[in-house]
Amino acid sequence: MTPPARKTAVDSPPGRARALRSDAKQSRKTLLTAARELFAERGPEALTVAAVAKRAGLNRSTTYQHFKNRDELLMAVGAAFARETQEVLREPRAIGEQIDFFVHYFHERPDIARLWVFDLLAQKQVQPNGWLGYVDSLERLAGSSKSQDGIDAEMLGVIGMTSALVWSLMARQRSDDPEVARNETERFAAELKRLFLYGALRPEAWPELTAEFKTD
């Protein structure tokens, strides 16, 4: 008699196979969330497989199934940040709204600034996904009648982006009080808008933005 065929993973009931895939997907998501939290709190040095497993409430063997080492954790965190930043960069906004949005967005997401600084110090490419689209929008603005002549759109983008990223780290060092940090972030956003308005734009073409700085 021919012995019965040994069961393989393919022979598993479809429902169980889907459940296993769903559990694996959820475990990876939980681990990635834990990794991002640790990165935001303590920087890249905190990202070890053991630390991430402990934060996620999962055992090390499960964690190693998804991330073999610290480098893979860093790559996964970086990829997640890149996808997220790409999405927010592509949203069209008026220049004043754009400045307000990015300053507050990065203030709430210091983990993104930490990764940017880490990559910069490691001499990696730090141009975020979506950067070219962001610069394109500034180039359109610079080429319009609403801007001063001779604006370097790429450098203008660097000024806006890097200052917002650096501020997101400075704000938390200046005060542990969330309300104080928010108020100071609003002050920072206002001054950045003032620099754009009177340095790169033609104030008379932006009456709503100009009205923010009237004192009478």
CATH number at residue 57: 1.10.10.60
How far is 204 from 198, CA to CA, in rounded Å? Answer: 10
Element (H, E) at 151: none
Residues 38 and 134 in one domain: no
Q: 7: which 2 tokens?
A: 């069961």
Q: What is the pLDDT of residue 175?
A: 83
How far is 89 from 113, CA to CA, in rounded Å? Answer: 15
Residues 107 and 67 in one domain: no
How far is 185 from 99, CA to CA, in rounded Å? Answer: 11
Stated pTM of the model: 0.69
Q: What is the pLDDT of residue 70?
A: 85
Boundary-marking domain end, from 42, 76, 110: 76
Residues 149 and 66 in one domain: no
Residues 148 and 108 in one domain: yes
Residues 194 and 148 in one domain: yes
Listed as ranges, residues in the chain with pLDDT below 50 are 7-10, 20
Q: 98: which 2 tokens?
A: 């754009």
Q: How far is CA 147 from the centre of its chain?
A: 28
Backbone angles phi, psi at 177, to 5 degrees: -85, 115
Q: What is the pLDDT of residue 9?
A: 47
> Do the domain assignments include residue 124?
yes
Q: Which domain holds residue 65?
A: 19-76
Residues 104 and 62 in one domain: no
Q: What is the pLDDT of residue 209?
A: 92
